[in-house]
Chains A and B, each alone.
Chain A
Amino acid sequence: MKLRLLYFLFFTPICLFSQVTFVKDTIQLQGDSVVVTATRSERKLSNVTVPVTIINSKSIQQIGALRLTDILKEQPGLTMTSGFGAGVQLQGLNPDYTIILINGEPLVGRTAGVLDLNRIALGNIKKIEIVKGPSSSLYGSEAMAGVINIITDGTTKIPLQASIRYGTYKTIDAGVNQAVSSKSIFYQGYYNYYSTDGYSIRPSSASRVTTPIHRFASNQQFKYNLSSSTNIQVGVRFTNEQIKNDISVTNGGTTIHSNGEEKNTDYNISSTLNHRFSNFLKTSFRSYVTQYNSTQNLLTISGAPYIDVLDHLFNRIENQTDWIVNKKLTAIIGGGTVMEGVKSSRYDSEKVRKTNANQYAFSQWEWMPNTKFIFIGGVRFDHNQTYASAWSPKVSMLYKINKQHKVRLSIGEGFKAPDFRQLYLDFTNAAAGAYSVFGTAQAQKVIGQLNTLGQIGTLYNNYYQLKALQPEYATGANLSWEFEPNAKNFLSVQLFRNDIRNLIEVQQVGAYITGAQIYSYLNIGRAFTTGLEIEAKRQISNTFSISAAYQYLETGDKDQIAQIKSGIVYTRDANGLSRRLNLSEYVGLPNNSKHKAQLKFNYSNQNGLFGNLRALYRSKWAVNNTNGNEVYDNGDSFAKGYIALHFALGKDYVNGFGLQVGCDNILNYIDAIHLPNLPGRTFFTTLKYQIPQKHKL
């Protein structure tokens, strides 16, 4: 075996790494940039078999985006959600189902499944890669709707850059970035400070939708080249934020103030040892530690303190080996182990960290029979300590019909592991009817104990069905066609379908003798999302370009559709009398808009002047099941569709200075209830300086 390997190492004549050539950003619309997220290895965008979107640092800067939310909300097919921080919805799937990576390593610290994307500052980001469709075959849990990978700038020499921005609501953002390197050592440091006074868009309320916040983030990267074939990289990221909560409740003419503070800290340390055995074989060992701690200290009306703590610690050791088997075949083989734990005041004891261990192995094979076809097949196996194991296969292909037309097809499995809350939650709401929610890891034990104490009134059938939770699964298919007649025009049409099964849902499993409900989690739901995405870009002149995108989305809960078909779902007619609901009145899953569209105008000239105007449209979406029939239909509450219009204008001067002004939400669209994260019209000014370089990049 070893000999055979050596044979490949030394005698396979063609170096396939030469395929992978780094291409600098050109003025071409689809500059053939390098993608790492799609295959866990560097590939040209034109050779990738799955749908990928790349956002480069230039477009981040030109729209004046500060946080990850700012840029993602302007991407076709992505929708921001606003419960528990700003999450992202991809292909109609909730934020729980998209994994967020920084340089390939996952971010943790989700509240109710949502990772607040405002945590991530964009100052030293080189690019953001978005892979749509299930990608668990490479990334495991959470990569069910897709992957968002934030790649920090690893450019070896960055002259000192500094920027400061001031905007509406006393929003300040200041950043410093620099990279220095010698032959063998590279260092990059980035520091960011952000603060805002927050804002209130509810007229009768003194409490602020976005509360006053101070954030400090720092990012350090070290790279040490031991030799030309071996290097060591260490990246440290630290974010600290303080949020001041002032909650005022006015009731019957009396206003009661309560206040408190929320502190979130978050660090990530990643170390990588890369070694290249030959041009055909390289390996990397990665170790990653991250911890997210969120502590909420509130003084309630009665003066009693209320403390809510969430602490998530995640450790991972991983190896990935890339092997070029021959001219037509390349392979990736990898595996690793994860140890993670969560402490929360909503579990039985906040002192004890609930843990889970996970071992996994994955492999991916890429076959290029000729210049027109690329086939990729991969599979990953995740073995877990606290819930059922998961297999995630995926196949994908690319067919280059000719220079202008490309077709991509991918079918894969995605999964999302049950999260700690679903396993360990031990929560009794004393205020609202004393209901309880127990995670499945201990539901039967805890409820059994309560039963022996004579506190349980009834146990439902599904109590006896409680068992180790299984992951939620999705099968996703993506088919896309790309047409690029020349360097100035681009059109793509993409169809997608995701079938989700085993969805974990909260279910009442019994009741106390007082009648108060007891809930736990069961794998019961089935749903689908399907739709169409169209993107078009056109370079009108050397300076002026225009881009447009549209997404059509259909979603639905399969069990609810079955219930509607069998005639057991009701609604009311114009006279208020009950009648059966028609399937045509069903609107699918909440928070999903059927239509989304965007239109962007972009100007940028040789003298450093740039400007853009972006219009983003989202059609109405169901928010609340007002009529109580448990399905979302035309008789329920909807948030109105709206258009957000943004504008930015700037100039970069030869002497290193840059100036930018902008206005977000020009139309001043406000929907305090359904869009708390959208303030009214805001303005900003940014001043930046970069030590001029002798030669331009």
Chain B
Amino acid sequence: MRQILKPFLLLFTLSSILISCTKDETTIELPVTAITVSNLPADTVLGINPTTGMPTSAGKYTFFSLERNEVVSNTDSASTKWDLAFASTKILINGGTSGTAMGGAFIYTGLFDDVKTISNDSVFKTDNAPASYAITYGSGKGWYVYDQLTSLITPLAGRVLVIRTASGKYAKLEVINYYKGGVTLPITASDSDKLSKQRYYTFRYTYQPNGSKSF
């Protein structure tokens, strides 16, 4: 069925481009596509503090540019080169108390594919550390839940991070997994695995380079 449909789809897409060409000859819109980023480390765990029992880490954010789909050096933390910064479950935007650029975000409840256009009455929040963050963190408050019984972190299904980038463009992002290899560990995994394999983000995002709010 799919095999048969494919040529028709292609034909349909081509014809719609042709039609749009005739209507508006100045721009040809290429559909924006979703990009998947795997195993992005986010201040990974180095060990355990023997007195507090809390995990220890370098305490450094991983800066990421959605526009260029690459990690930005920590030396550029004060620049407009990055859009998001990741450290454990905390995700910063480049704006407010976290950065100097135009970054902002809000969390949409629904499916990634359902975010076709950001409505004009949507309010983009900016970071206001330590009281609040545009991408709220804490179990069940934003994009993930932490299970005290199993010590595992699970990104919530049906949460889309709608982002205004450093340069004021728009993107939508869904966190898929928080563990190395993109698969949440089984509850029976050892404590040391649960620590050493966490803080590796797998996410997909769509970046709209033309500045519009549509994807």
**30 chain-A/chain-B pairs, Cβ below 8 angstroms:** A251-B50, A251-B53, A252-B49, A252-B50, A252-B53, A515-B131, A568-B109, A568-B158, A570-B156, A570-B158, A572-B176, A577-B112, A577-B174, A577-B176, A577-B204, A578-B111, A578-B174, A579-B111, A580-B111, A624-B147, A624-B149, A626-B152, A626-B154, A626-B187, A627-B157, A628-B144, A628-B154, A628-B157, A637-B187, A673-B149
How many residues from A make CB contacts under 8 Å with B?
Answer: 23
Q: Does B150 sit within 8 A of A, measured CB to CB?
A: yes
Contact with A along B86-118 (1 / 0, CB 8 A): 000000000000000000000001111000000
Main secondary structure on A side of the interface with B: loop
Q: Which residue of chain B has the shortest Cβ distance to A637 in the bound complex? A: B187
Q: Which residue of chain A has the shortest Cβ distance to B152 in the bound complex? A: A626
Q: Which residues of chain A in 577-608 are interfacial with respect to chain B, using CB atoms and an 8 Å cutoff?
A: 577-580
Q: Does A18 sit within 8 A of B, measured CB to CB?
A: no
Tell me how far the C-beta of A303 lies from the nearest C-beta in chain B, rounded to whole angstroms: 15
Q: Does B44 sit within 8 A of A, measured CB to CB?
A: no
Q: Which residues of A contact B182 (CB under 8 A)?
A: 576
Contact with A along B171-183 (1 / 0, CB 8 A): 0001011000010
Q: A569-B158, A572-B176 are in contact. List 5 more A-B contacts (CB 8 A).
A: A251-B50, A572-B157, A626-B150, A626-B187, A673-B149
Contact with B along A361-383 (1 / 0, CB 8 A): 00000000000000000000000
Known: A570-B157, A576-B202, A578-B111. Contact between A252 and B144, CB under 8 A?
no
Tell me how far the C-beta of B132 lies from the nearest C-beta in chain A, rounded to whole angstroms: 8
> Bound state CA distance, A515 and B129, in angstroms?
12
> Bound state CA distance, A571 and B157, in angstroms?
5
Q: Which residues of chain B in 19-70 are interfacial with respect to chain A, using CB atoms and an 8 Å cutoff?
A: 48-50, 53
Contact between chains at A627 and B50 (CB < 8 Å): no
Q: Does A254 sit within 8 A of B, measured CB to CB?
A: yes
> Bound state CA distance, A577 and B187, in angstroms?
21
Tell me how far the C-beta of A189 lies from the nearest C-beta in chain B, rounded to whole angstroms: 45
Q: Which residues of B contact A568 (CB under 8 A)?
A: 109-110, 158
> Bound state CA distance, A569 and B202, in angstroms?
22
Q: Does B145 sit within 8 A of A, measured CB to CB?
A: yes
Tell me how far the C-beta of B110 lies from the nearest C-beta in chain A, rounded to whole angstroms: 8
Contact between chains at B149 and A627 (CB < 8 Å): no
Q: Which residue of chain A has the shortest Cβ distance to B174 in the bound complex? A: A578
Q: Does B140 sit within 8 A of A, measured CB to CB?
A: yes
Contact between chains at B150 and A629 (CB < 8 Å): no
Interface contact tally, CB-CB below 8 A? 65
> Bound state CA distance, A481 and B122, in angstroms?
60
Contact with B along A497-524 (1 / 0, CB 8 A): 0000000000000000001000000000
> Bound state CA distance, A458 and B7, in angstroms?
56
Q: Which residue of chain B has the shortest Cβ distance to A572 in the bound complex? A: B157
> Bound state CA distance, A251 and B54, in angstroms?
9
Contact between chains at A578 and B131 (CB < 8 Å): no
> Bound state CA distance, A673 and B49, in angstroms?
27
> Bound state CA distance, A465 and B17, in angstroms?
55
Q: Which residues of B contact A515 (CB under 8 A)?
A: 131-132
Q: Does A253 sit within 8 A of B, measured CB to CB?
A: yes
Q: Which residue of chain A has the shortest Cβ distance to B177 in the bound complex? A: A576
Contact with A along B148-163 (1 / 0, CB 8 A): 0110101011110000
> Bound state CA distance, A637 and B144, in angstroms?
16
Contact with B along A224-256 (1 / 0, CB 8 A): 000000000000000000000000000111100
Contact between chains at A578 and B150 (CB < 8 Å): no
> Bound state CA distance, A578 and B177, in angstroms?
11
Quick one: which of A571, A578, A629, A637 contacts B112, CB cutoff 8 A?
Answer: A578
Contact between chains at A637 and B158 (CB < 8 Å): no
Contact with B along A70-109 (1 / 0, CB 8 A): 0000000000000000000000000000000000000000
Q: Which residues of A contact B149 (CB under 8 A)?
A: 624, 673
